[in-house]
Amino acid sequence: MRAWRILAVVLLFGFSAGCARAQFAVSAGLEYFSWTEDTNPINVRERGPLFALGLAFTQPKEKGFLFAYRGRFYAGEVDYDGAYLDAPSVPVTGTTKYAGTAQEGQLRYRLGYGLDVLGGLGVDLWQRKLSDIQKEDYRIVYARLGVEGNAAGGKGWLGGAGLKYPLWTRENAHLTDIGFDQNPELKPGKDISVFGQLGYRFEQKWAIIAYLDGFRFKQSNQVAVSAGGVPQGVVYQPGVDMYVVGLKLERSF
């Protein structure tokens, strides 16, 4: 896939160009996760905590173009309120397990005074497990565009904001595991979302950061399915608003 190759080239270029003087950071934190599906007559809602670990690399430079990397690993179990797949008017509650990772390469332009304009290309891979037999695997390639203040790592306040857009979306719903004859690939529709962060860096080593991130997806393509050779109509992924609000502690090296 072309987007994966581009991301790999950007990562390799950035590490080879900046490792000798690189600034690294690790982080750990908690996130409030929200997933809302546009379904009738009952909306599917998932809410709950995720635990997240982060890795970061930024090429030190006073001005001009520079490379950065951001990685995140997350997992947790959240509350599910919705309906059965084959009985959408019957309410049901339960839990959903999430586990995934986001890996992103960034090209930044440092304007000076700790202000960066950034563009990022990343991949986000996660599994949404609703039961022992029902799960969904997501593969998302996305782009990010924004600005970040105090990006150079100095003591004091830091913040940033911007827009995020999924360039390539795929969902494996494992439909054969729940009784269908086919398992066609779903392609969630693309929509713009926002991201942001606000925090404070102490002594240039430690920082505490609050952040907002996520995706918005429109309804996917519709695919015809059958069970035991009998047509069952169409299956699709409804539109989704997905976001996390997190708080993390970060240590720079």
What's domain 2-252's superfamily in CATH?
Answer: OPCA outer membrane adhesin/invasin (2.40.128.100)
| Model pTM score | 0.89
Q: How far apart are CA 9 and CA 19, in angstroms?
A: 15
Domain ranges of the chain: 2-252
Range from 8-12, 152-156, 204-208, 217-221 carrying the lowest mean pLDDT: 8-12
* Tens of pLDDT, residues 11-69: 444 443 333 345 899 999 999 999 999 998 999 999 999 999 999 999 988 899 999 99
* Tens of pLDDT, residues 65-108: 999 999 999 999 999 999 887 778 889 999 999 999 999 999 99
